């Protein structure tokens, strides 16, 4: 049985939530470099020194927000993975991640621009990426067992390639001369189909003649708009 948190513990949690909300808002509006820790502390209504009890640097705060938000979305996506061909499954995962970024494009730009260069040994971004890629590799192994892919396809390498295709379209959409959401979705689908069909034993039957739902939000908890459409719920 979980113990009831004390007043001190509740106070700490409240301060941390205020810090994360303030950092999210400022990073998304001003960018990472232009935001100062003093501004974050002021927006969270705490002292500048208190902030460092919760996060030593801006990098710590950025990674904390990223791991919390992406981690929740990825866990939900894998937990609600549809029993469909591999193409639909990776669209389910990547669609959920894109939906999160659609909610705050400014913050998404900060994630894409800054996170690849953080001092990862103490932040754990690589650990999270390893977990995501391992999950995709399991989907690939399952697809091989179903006969969708050749048995000699290396799952780990293909998982990296599929994520790279997703990340490339994400960068294009968030870039200085950005593509539209429709171009992003169509480009991602075309690239994934080309990759997977080139490695297949046969062409799996898939409903994904195009991305079935423009990703504007996560829909019900634990289900991306893409999976909602694939499962017959929602769509427009």
On the 0-12 / 13-18 / 19+ scale of CB atoms within 10 A, 122 is exposed
**What does the DSSP 8-state code read for residue 3?**
P
Tens of pLDDT, residues 192-214: 999 999 998 755 455 544 443 33
- pTM for this prediction: 0.76
Closest by CA position to 117, among listed 73, 75, 160, 58: 58
Closest by CA position to 35, among listed 46, 45, 24: 24
Tens of pLDDT, residues 87-117: 999 999 999 999 999 998 888 998 888 887 7
**What does the DSSP 8-state code read for residue 175?**
S
Within 86-154, residue ranges assigned H as helices are: 86-103, 105-114, 120-123, 125-145
């Amino acid at each position: 049985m979980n113990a009831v948190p004390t007043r001190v513990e509740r106070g700490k949690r409240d301060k941390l939530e205020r810090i994360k909300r303030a950092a999210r808002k400022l990073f998304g509006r001003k960018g990472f470099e232009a935001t100062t820790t003093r501004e974050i502390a002021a927006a969270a209504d705490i002292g500048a020194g208190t902030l460092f009890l919760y996060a030593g640097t801006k990098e710590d705060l950025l990674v904390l927000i990223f791991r919390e938000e992406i981690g929740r979305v990825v866990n939900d996506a894998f937990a609600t993975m549809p029993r469909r061909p591999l193409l639909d499954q990776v669209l389910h995962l990547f669609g959920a991640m894109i939906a999160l970024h659609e909610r705050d494009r400014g913050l998404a730009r900060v994630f894409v621009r800054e996170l690849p260069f953080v001092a990862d040994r103490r932040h754990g971004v690589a650990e999270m990426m390893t977990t995501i890629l391992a999950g995709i590799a399991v989907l690939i192994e399952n697809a091989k067992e179903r006969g969708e892919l050749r048995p000699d396809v290396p799952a780990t390498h293909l998982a990296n390639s599929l994520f790279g295709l997703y990340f490339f379209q994400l960068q294009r959409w968030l870039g200085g001369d950005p593509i539209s959401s429709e171009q992003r979705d169509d480009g991602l689908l075309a690239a994934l189909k080309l990759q997977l069909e080139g490695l297949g034993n046969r062409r799996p039957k898939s409903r994904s003649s195009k991305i079935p739902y423009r990703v504007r939000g996560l829909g019900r908890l634990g289900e991306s708009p893409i999976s909602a459409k694939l499962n017959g719920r929602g769509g427009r």
